[in-house]
């Protein structure tokens, strides 16, 4: 049976992606149209950060309550040899935490930046975080680690 945490972690990914995309689009259009930084820009990155925070919490719950810790204590050598285990224990966890750190560094960096550089800073921090998230999701096309696009409570 799938856990509530797994369903929520799967569903919340869409919130992360929607608000991440919104923040990145705002950054790009802001640079292209030399628009001044607006409340809308701030809102997009705030929602992106909030969804990343919630996702981190559910990710950590899954990590510490699932089979993963036992696999680690059985030996990292075995984990690294198995593509599926390596993905969830090392790659997914590390890249998503890195993305989370970038989002958290990005918000104050944008706040401190001058009016001319705010959108560039937005694109730098949130753009890289967004790419890391996209490439670290276990999409159904990723044969070895494939997970569904959507889960629902049952």
> In this complex, which beta carbon is closest to ligand HEM, that of residue 16 or of residue 27?
16
Nearest approach in angstroms of CB 105 to ligand HEM is 15
Q: Measuring CA to CA, which residue among 17, 100, 16, 3 is closest to residue 61?
A: 3
Q: Which of 68, 90, 91, 128: binder of ligand HEM (CB under 6 A)?
A: 68
Beta-carbon count within 10 A of 73 CB? 8
92 in contact with ligand HEM (CB under 6 A): yes
Nearest approach in angstroms of CB 153 to ligand HEM is 12
Per-residue binding letters, 134-153, with ligand HEM (x by CB under 6 A): ---xx--------xx--x--
Burial letters for 108-142: b for 16+ Cβ neighbours within 10 Å, e otherwise?
Answer: ebbeebeeeebbbbbbbbbbbbbebbeebbbeeee
Sole residue written with tokens 């990914």: 13
Per-residue binding letters, 8-47, with ligand HEM (x by CB under 6 A): -xx--x--x-------------------------------
Q: Give me the residue whose beta carbon is nearest to ligand HEM.
A: 59
């Amino acid at each position: 049976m799938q856990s509530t945490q797994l369903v929520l972690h799967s569903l919340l990914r869409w919130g992360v992606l929607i608000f991440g995309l919104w923040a990145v689009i705002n950054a790009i259009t802001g640079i292209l149209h030399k628009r001044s930084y607006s409340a809308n820009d701030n809102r997009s990155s705030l929602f992106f950060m909030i969804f990343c925070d919630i996702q981190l919490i559910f990710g950590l719950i899954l990590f510490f309550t699932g089979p993963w810790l036992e696999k680690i204590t059985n030996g990292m050598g075995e984990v690294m040899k198995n593509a599926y285990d390596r993905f969830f224990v090392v790659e997914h966890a590390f890249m998503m935490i890195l993305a989370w750190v970038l989002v958290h560094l990005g918000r104050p960096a944008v706040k401190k930046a001058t009016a001319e550089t705010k959108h560039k800073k937005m694109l730098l921090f949130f753009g890289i975080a967004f790419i890391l998230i996209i490439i670290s999701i276990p999409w159904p096309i990723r044969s070895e680690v494939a997970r569904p696009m959507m889960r629902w409570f049952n």
